[in-house]
Amino acid sequence: MQQVADWLEKLGLGQYAQRFAENGVDFSVLPDLTDQDLEKIGVLLGHRRKMLRAIAELSGVEKSAPKATAETSVPGAPQPQDTAERRQVTVMFSDLVGSTALSARMDPEDLREVISAYQKCVAATVQRFGGFIDKYMGDGVLVYFGYPQAHEDDAERAVRAGLELVQAVSGLKSSAPLKTRVGIATGLVVVGDLIGSGEAQERGIVGETPNVAARLQGIAEPNTVVIAESTRRLVGNLFDFQDLRAKDLSGAAAAAVTRTPPFRTATRSSRGWPASRPQHFSSCFRSA
């Protein structure tokens, strides 16, 4: 690991040595790193570009290497379009509340530690419920339930993960109380296809579901989980629901789940519902 640390120091990026060590990135792994890999461990965009240029110089790879790699791929290997599939997925968007205000009053290094702790908290929580983290987007996280591994109760897993996440984030140590909000939606998507080009390529998800989840996360109150009507139908009466008709969901059917004390209330919108904590509680939603 010291070899990697020395290499980062030469680039003037020694502050990432700890990140590389924590993720087991040694010198032999450097040529295999992608822009997405570096983003996931918290490297800033400009610094990622600088690292990738240096890695290319180390390995003697020209800028046209992505094209050459595709041309020299192993015969019979599946092409990107062959890996995409149509399936039902439950998508979760989570976001750290008030990150802009935090950035205005915190030292960048301290803020980095807060966001890193938040991201690790999200990862540990959703993985316990079988969720798959697709990407970190600053203080936001995009998670899939039902891809790449599907379960018959993926919608329930996502809701439970969202509720656990609200509690877990609230318990993180910070100079200011941390809160999160979560949006969850279920629907048919095409997932697994390659999006972008070159170093920016990543497996993507295409369909309305991620957009619905993002909108629901946007209207959620702090420490609240908002779920789509499509998700509510799948979880049935496992959670309590509360009316959210005052919310503007821009045409999206939705439901919400809260984890604030006493942890028994969840909310419903004109087209969706919020649920509260688990199976012991009766449903309290009304027909639309």
Per-residue pLDDT tens digits for 135-177: 888 788 999 999 888 999 999 999 999 999 999 999 988 777 8
pLDDT at 63 over 90: no
In a domain? residue 155 = yes
Say if residue 249 is in the same domain as residue 221.
yes
Q: Which of 18, 39, 71 is the last residue of a domain?
A: 71
Say if residue 205 is in the same domain as residue 86.
yes
Q: Which of the two residues, 271 and 31, has the higher pLDDT score?
A: 31
Q: Which of 37, 71, 105 is the last residue of a domain?
A: 71
In a domain? residue 165 = yes
Position 129 scores a pLDDT of 94
pLDDT at 269 over 70: no
Say if residue 31 is in the same domain as residue 132.
no
Q: Give per-residue pLDDT as tens, 192-225.
A: 766 655 555 566 788 899 999 999 998 889 999 9
Question: How large is the average pLDDT for residues 72-89?
Answer: 60
pLDDT at 271 over 70: no
Say if residue 173 is in the same domain as residue 113.
yes
Say if residue 90 is in the same domain as residue 211.
yes
Residue 262: Cβ-neighbour burial (10 angstroms; 0-12, 13-18, 19+): exposed
> Do 88 and 146 contact (CB within 8 A), yes or no?
yes
Say if residue 163 is in the same domain as residue 190.
yes
What is the reported pTM? 0.61
Say if residue 60 is in the same domain as residue 35.
yes
Say if residue 88 is in the same domain as residue 174.
yes
In the chain, DSSP assigns E strands to: 85-96, 132-137, 140-145, 180-195, 202-206, 224-227, 255-258, 266-268
- The CATH number given to whatever domain includes residue 173 is 3.30.70.1230
Say if residue 17 is in the same domain as residue 108.
no
- End-to-end Cα spacing for the chain: 59
For tokens 């992608």, what's the residue? 34
Q: Which two tokens stand for residue 46?
A: 């400009």
In a domain? residue 41 = yes
Cα atoms in the 13 Å half-sphere on the side-chain side of 272:
30
Q: Which of the two residues, 261 and 36, has the higher pLDDT score?
A: 36
Considering only 3-17, 21-35, 55-69, which range has the smallest mean pLDDT?
55-69
Question: How large is the average pLDDT for residues 28-34?
Answer: 83
In a domain? residue 283 = no
**Which of the four pLDDT bands, split at 50, 70 and 90, describes residue 284?**
very low
Say if residue 62 is in the same domain as residue 88.
no
- The CATH number given to whatever domain includes residue 31 is 1.10.150.50
**Domain hosting residue 191, numbered range:** 82-268
Say if residue 145 is in the same domain as residue 111.
yes
Q: How many distinct structural domains can be found in the chain?
A: 2
Q: Which of the two residues, 56 and 222, has the higher pLDDT score?
A: 222
- Alpha-carbon distance of 111 to 98, in angstroms, equals 12
Say if residue 54 is in the same domain as residue 86.
no
Position 130 scores a pLDDT of 94
In a domain? residue 277 = no
Position 203 scores a pLDDT of 66
Please provide the average confidence, as pLDDT, over all residues in the chain. 76
- Alpha-carbon distance of 96 to 93, in angstroms, equals 10
> Do 132 and 154 contact (CB within 8 A), yes or no?
no
In a domain? residue 273 = no
